[in-house]
Amino acid sequence: MKFFVSCAKGLEYLLVDELLALGCAQATATVAGVNAEGSLADAQRAVLWSRLASRVLWPLADYDCADEHALYAGARALDWTAHLDAAMTLAVDAHVSGSAITHARYAAQRLKDAVVDVLREASGARPDVDVESPDLRLNLVVRKGRAIVSVDLGGGPLHRRGWRRAQGDAPLKENLAAALLLRGGWPALYAEGGGLLDPMCGSGTLLIEGALMAADVAPGLLRHGGRAPSRWRGFDLACWEALVAGASARERAGRTALRPVFAGRDLDPQAIRNARENATAAGLRDAIDFQVGDIADLAVQSVPRGLVVCNPPYDARLAADPALYRSLGSALSRAVPDWRASLLCGDRELAFASGLRAKKSYQLFNGALECTLIVCDPVRPSARAQDGARELSEGARMVANRLRKTLRASKAWRAREGVECFRAYDADIPEYAAAVDVYAEADTGTRWLHVQEYAAPTEIPETVTRKRFGELLAGAAEALEVPRERIAVKTRARGKGGSKYGHFAHRGEFLTVREGAARLRANLFDYLDTGLFLDHRPLRLAIAEEARDKRFLNLFCYTGAATVQAAVGGAAQTTSVDLSATYLEWLADNLRENAIGGIRHRIAQADAMAWLRADRGEYDLVFCDPPTFSNSARAEDFDVQRSHVELLRLAVARLSYGGVLYFSNNFRRFRLDTEAVAAFAEIEDISPATVPPDFARNPRIHRTWRLRARA
């Protein structure tokens, strides 16, 4: 059975690993959650044991939902007497997107009405609503014309462990605290005898969560005192009781063996009082040493190895004092130089202000705020590693400052759209002529850079060009906090016929990155392009939105990123055509990365023009992004300017009634023959809507048209 486990954005891949370890047969990450496969027992085990999940949702129905009437009718068709009786209480949580149903509270009301009406007809009585502690909590999602109704098996948010009695301002949720501990490798460090320190502990969340983790206490034991979290009639009570019995035995053994290696400090005496009260409620009164103290006075720790875990203060505007972060970095470098640190900072600039060198960094969301988690191991690097840093030249500082300004300006947009791979710089300073693209690994958030040098005017001496490019690389590495080994450089060397790209590396190194709900493989070093054209991001995401239940055709498919988006978006079938075996193998890897396979997804190695002449299929959605030219020995020569009318005529002939063709190319001097194409298709230039904000400096990076067959 498939079920859904939600979590905060940024925790998806940690949650995948956790659910697989808890016994789920399969787990696939999506935005803010994981699609899991397993039994009801597996789902109930996740309710009890998951440290990262927000909710565990067991689906009851998935049906078409064009409007409020369809929402009610679909829910009304369910036999609700199999799930609850009229003497029970009920609550509905709803999440809606799209234009058909826009108010979540109204959607929840319509689902509740359907449940009540069914039970009233069956028994003459109706259940009451209890939004705080219902016997049955339902979850409703309305998206892309579908409604999914699920049972919330945990009865509410799973981050509520049951021990919190007091809190300060903006306390960290317990499941996010668990993520900081897991990213810092706390379980292994504890097993090796290490300690845990939070020098700005607030109400103690990180230390309490770390101690309960070390004591092998199931997160759900305290939440309901061992009682079943739901009275849903489908809930397997015998299974739950067995799970609780096993967890209770593990808790007794773990608490008995727990070593008191936990220390917390805070400058605010009230925060320390709150932390002690919470620790007492969690049964950890004697396990954690809480002290009032300034970070500047942090003493050298007696334990030689351990984890510093901390969430330094910042507010909703990320208003924080960089000096505080510098003080934190200095104190840790002095007191625990050989420890590991896992620090949740407001953003990359605040993390950078700490002066600590991150071995890994991750993007997490604390509520609606995108934050940066850095993991430093050790806190103070060796003298040799520190010697690797050099003072930036004036030119490099200028580039770094421009990049930081751009990142600040685009931060809200990137967070809102969930963009993790983007263009950060595009010859913003004319003397430093290059494009800098950022690629973030899907599972870790680790940043890589892809830097493409633009050809300099012939009158600029080669020595000047090389110096400027070196300064650009230094400034980019500094501003984006990326070491040189994670920067792919495509330089141009002068040769016969003018400038051209020089040699490429042959590292065979692929990154998995995220775009919307899709995972895509990129290779930054080995090829001219990376396998993912970032400027086409909006069009690919639009295809994902339009593709549900449609037959999708991708011509000149390259590495198939658009095919993956269509498949992830629910396409009934996909067909991808390209002449390159390398690209098609890459496409197959991309499909496997998203657990997509089967005969519904066809791959054809062929010349696209010849394939179209022979094909007799019908397609509802077509994407065609041809190269400017091709002179492969295995196919007829192709020139987009010369060949585009015939190409579009052949492609439009394959459209179903009402079907859409998106045609795009990046040839700067291309001119669409509108008169010839208008004879068989309706044409709409949609280029401005398909160029994303990070390419705004280069609005003609590509042109895009939407075509429909003439009736």
374-395 pLDDT, tens per residue? 999 999 875 444 444 456 889 9
Question: Lowest-pLDDT range, 360-364, 390-394, 670-674?
Answer: 390-394
Can you state the angle between helices 561-568 and 537-546, rounded to 10 degrees?
Answer: 30
Which residues are within 8 A (CB) of 659 and not within 5 positions of it... i.e. 6 or more apart?
Answer: 618, 619, 620, 621, 622, 708, 709
The CATH architecture that domain 174-215+258-380 belongs to is: 3-Layer(aba) Sandwich (3.40)
In this structure, the strands spanning 551-555 and 619-624 are parallel
User: SS3 of 47, please?
Assistant: helix
pLDDT average, residue stretch 572-590: 96
Count other C-beta atoms under 10 Å from residue 167's C-beta.
17
Which two tokens mark 367? 């509520």
Residue 244 amino acid letter = V
Q: Determine phi and psi for 521, rounding to 5 degrees.
A: -95, 135
| b/e per residue 288-303 (b: at least 16 CB within 10 A) | bebeeeebeebeebee
Count other C-beta atoms under 10 Å from residue 267's C-beta.
14
The predicted structure's pLDDT at residue 318: 42
Task: Please state, in angstroms and rounded to a whole number, the distance separating the CA atoms of residues 179 and 84.
Answer: 35
Segment (H or E) for 435: strand 434-440
Cα distances (Å, whole numbers) of residue 517 to 397, 438, 602: 36, 18, 21
Rg (CA), the chain: 28
639-658 pLDDT, tens per residue? 999 999 999 999 999 999 99
Residues in the chain: 711
Q: Is the pLDDT of residue 497 over 80?
A: no
Q: Percent of the chain having pLDDT more than 70?
A: 95
Which two tokens mark 231? 């009275």
CATH 3.30.750.80 maps onto the chain at: 390-501
pLDDT average, residue stretch 272-298: 96
- What's the gap between Cα 269 and its chain centre? 38
Dihedral of the alpha carbons of 454, 460, 466, 470, in degrees to the nearest 10: -70
Task: Please state, in angstroms and rounded to a whole number, the distance separating the CA atoms of residues 308 and 189.
Answer: 11
Q: Determine phi and psi for 340, rounding to 5 degrees.
A: -95, 150
The predicted structure's pLDDT at residue 227: 92
In this structure, the strands spanning 55-64 and 26-30 are unpaired
59-98 pLDDT, tens per residue? 999 999 999 999 999 999 999 999 999 999 999 999 998 8
Which two tokens mark 199? 């020098």
Looking at the DSSP assignment, which residues form a beta bridge with residue 624? 555, 663
The predicted structure's pLDDT at residue 504: 59
Q: Which of 407, 404, 525, 398 is nearest to 471 (CA)?
A: 398
CATH 3.30.2130.30 maps onto the chain at: 2-152
Task: Please state, in angstroms and rounded to a whole number, the distance separating the CA atoms of residues 288 and 266.
Answer: 13
Q: Sign of dihedral through CA atoms 468, 469, 472, 473? A: negative
Count of alpha carbons within 13 angstroms of residue 492, beta-carbon side: 19
Residue with token string 């809930």: 235
| pTM for the full predicted model | 0.70
Q: Is the pLDDT of residue 531 over 60?
A: yes
Cα distances (Å, whole numbers) of residue 90 to 69, 85, 116, 185, 687: 21, 10, 10, 40, 49
> Could you give the angle at the alpha carbon of 180 between the alpha carbons of 179 and 184, nearest 5°?
110
Q: Which of 209, 170, 182, 174 is nearest to 342 (CA)?
A: 182
The predicted structure's pLDDT at residue 144: 86
Contact call for residues 234 and 60 (beta carbons, < 8 A): no
User: SS3 of 311, please?
Assistant: coil
Residue 358's pLDDT band, with cuts at 50, 70 and 90, is confident
CATH 3.40.50.150 maps onto the chain at: 174-215+258-380, 533-709
Q: Determine phi and psi for 266, rounding to 5 degrees.
A: -160, 150
107-158 pLDDT, tens per residue? 999 999 999 999 999 999 999 999 999 999 999 999 989 999 999 999 999 9
The CATH number of 533-709 is 3.40.50.150
Which two tokens mark 305? 């190895």
275: exposed, middle or buried (C-beta count within 10 Å: 0-12, 13-18, 19+)?
Answer: buried
Whether the upstream peptide bond of residue 127 has omega within 30° of 0, thus cis, is: no
The predicted structure's pLDDT at residue 508: 79
The predicted structure's pLDDT at residue 635: 67
Q: Which of 363, 702, 706, 707 is nearest to 533 (CA)?
A: 702
426-477 pLDDT, tens per residue? 999 999 999 999 999 998 888 999 999 998 888 888 888 889 999 999 999 9
- What's the gap between Cα 555 and its chain centre? 28
Class of domain 2-152: alpha beta
Cα distances (Å, whole numbers) of residue 685 to 542, 673, 688, 707: 15, 13, 8, 9
Domain 390-501 superfamily per CATH: RNA methyltransferase domain (HRMD) like (3.30.750.80)
pLDDT average, residue stretch 240-260: 97
Which two tokens mark 385? 């590693």
